[in-house]
Amino acid sequence: MKNGYYTGIDLFAGAGGFTLAAKEVGIHVKAAIEFDRHACETYRRNFIYGQENPPELIEDDINEVDPYKLLKLADMLPGECDVLMGGPPCQGFSTHRIKGAGVDDPRNTLIIKYFDFVKIIEPKVFVIENVSGLLWPRHADYLNKFLKLAKKSGYSVYGPTLLNAKDYGVPQNRERVFIIGISSSLPLKLDWPPQPTHYNPKSEEVKKDEKTAWINAKVVFKPLSKKDPNLNHMNHTERIIEVFKSTPKNGGSRLQSNRTLPCHENYRGHLDVYGRIDPRKPGPTITTGCINPSKGRFVHPTKNHGITIRHAARFQTFPDDFIFEGGLMASGRQIGNAVPIRLGVDVFNTVIQALDEYSPQINEVIIPEEKPVEVSV
């Protein structure tokens, strides 16, 4: 540990979900890269402006960033970074892609680009987060290439491991893949995966007095501050509002709203579209379209509109004082792309425990006893 904290670098930083989770466990992110200008505005507002010793943010396409430049901005040499983190854009690996879609998406190569930074930065630990679709056979070439590069470069790899955020205190059913790499040159032992902290209350395998039940979505809909700049939601047409009014509260679906679109007549898929959130259960997966009820079950449990930016952020366990910039849709994309804070904290805690147990041997410096100097008089 250096000066009371571990050091980190955040690739594909987005709005800063990984950075915030890292900060919670004592990892000081010294530099970050993000391309989206709205996400950069959010990152600066929450981590840079008015902050002491803030991260250096590079607003650029990671393909155009020199890893050595990043190290210089972070004031580090190769091998000095404790934790390199990042979630490469995952649209190409999304499970929403049907059949062979996404296989040749150029964004898939960014997981390999991530490793270009690993080779030069030489972190003690690297952490990657991505969607569950990364594990699909159609994407095996990208995943296997990354794993081979990691092992060839001297990293012990843990994962890929599928974790569900609802098992770690996040009020949301959200599966994500994590890959951890530990430098083989260090005697670090990682207790992986992190033990779930929450469980299905109907499960007979876990005693209720040992763990906490899954957190229901109702915690998201507690009173909001009227001063919150992220209170806005979509403005809907009168026709859509009438549809919402006819949808049963607390979990009603579009099939119960007496609304059938032409595309739905012979197709019963996407039943969550225009559905209300059921506050009695962990919420739906918060996607980049979470502000738009046409993209999923994103209608308020009792009110006749979609969820607000703050509701979406709460699903991702961002604190209420974390402000998103860029407007409604841009904020929704940032939130949907982020790592849930509480899940990130549990992942990083396993890393911190390993780093805490590692203490490199320091050679004791022996200062010889001074002998009195004989002075001739």
Catalytic residue among 40, 81, 90, 290: 90
Known catalytic residue at 290 = no
DSSP class of 107: G
Tokens encoding 177: 């893949």
Residue 318, CA distances (Å) to 87, 175, 323 in order: 17, 18, 9
CA 304 to CA 306: how far, in whole Å? Answer: 7
Q: Work out the angle at residue 155's Cα, subtended by the Cα atoms of residues 151 and 156, and round it to the nearest 5 degrees.
A: 90
- Count the neighbouring beta carbons within 10 Å of the beta carbon of residue 239: 8
Among the listed residues 270, 234, 233, 278, the one whose alpha carbon sits nearest the alpha carbon of residue 252: 278
CA 110 to CA 63: how far, in whole Å? Answer: 8
Residue 236, CA distances (Å) to 242, 265, 317 in order: 10, 24, 26
Q: Which residue has the tokens 């404790």?
A: 82
Amino acid 314 reads R
Positions marked catalytic: 90
